[in-house]
Amino acid sequence: MKTRILILGGTGDSARLIPQLSALPNVETIASLAGRTPKPNIPSVGQVRMGGFGGVEGLVNYLKTEKIDLLIDMSHPFAAQITRNASIAAQEAGIPRLLFCRPAWEQVEGDRWIMAADLDAAAALFPGLADRVFLTIGRQELGAFARVADCWFLMRMITPPDLAELPTGDVLLDQGPFDLVKETKILQDYAIGAIVSKNSGGNAAYAKIIAARTLGIPIVMIPRPLLPESEVVSEISAVVQWVQRQL
């Protein structure tokens, strides 16, 4: 009998992990993607499913129906809802769960970070901090900035926004990884005075942090949400070792 592993993913990390798990003897992988982006990180091997499960109950049903043996949560560090659901569902289904969380970015010399508890607190900093702002927070929570007066926003996201009320400014559709030369050019071309970023960690979105450091531009940084108590690893190799211990 093969060990069936559900990987909550869609991240580049999950796409890199899955071929390594598939190479283990008697292992079958199923990658689960939220299905929000037009060009998702589809792993090169194993099964793939798309879309929500229908809350905790739906996920428990899925784990039982599909006879899942292990659950690996490699969702985005800010995708707290699916992580909470996974924690409860794995307990209810009685299967082991591992949370992969890539390390958060740390401030280094030259960085001008302003910590904001959440996006509402970040929005309250404008236009005082700057009147031309680069929002790199995705599309779902742009509403927090919609009522900021006397400010212009460059809003980068993967798919177009579907909010009734958008902040004043331009939408830039793009998907990482982003490179330093282009990030620097964006900050200069749009005369950006501040960036708002979630502390996603990882390399794919780090170039803007370096570009801001070089140009002396402040970054309003949103810390990660609280996640349920979990066994956590931050390296792909540690996920593979965890699976090997479970087999």
What residue ranges bind ligand NAP (CB under 6 A)? 8-10, 32-34, 36, 52-55, 58-59, 75-76, 78-82, 85, 138, 140-141, 200
Nearer to ligand NAP, 138 or 193 (CB): 138
Say if residue 103 is preceded by a cis peptide, omega within 30 of 0: no
Nearest residue to ligand NAP on Cβ basis: 52
Nearer to ligand NAP, 76 or 97 (CB): 76
Element (H, E) at 220: strand 219-222
Residue 198: CB minimum distance to ligand NAP, A: 7
Nearer to ligand NAP, 27 or 63 (CB): 63
**What's the residue count for the chain?**
247
Phi first, then psi, for residue 172 (nearest 5°) are: -120, 110
Nearer to ligand NAP, 76 or 102 (CB): 76
Number of helical H runs and strand E runs in the chain: 7, 12
Judge whether 245 and 22 are in contact, CB under 8 Å: no
Judge whether 228 and 84 are in contact, CB under 8 Å: yes
Which amino acid is residue 89, in one-letter code?
A
Nearer to ligand NAP, 30 or 192 (CB): 30
Residue 161: CB minimum distance to ligand NAP, A: 12
Residue 109: CB minimum distance to ligand NAP, A: 26
Residue 74: CB minimum distance to ligand NAP, A: 8
Assigned token pair, 196: 């708002």
Residue 39: CB minimum distance to ligand NAP, A: 12
The span from the CA of 147 to the CA of 130, in Å, is 15
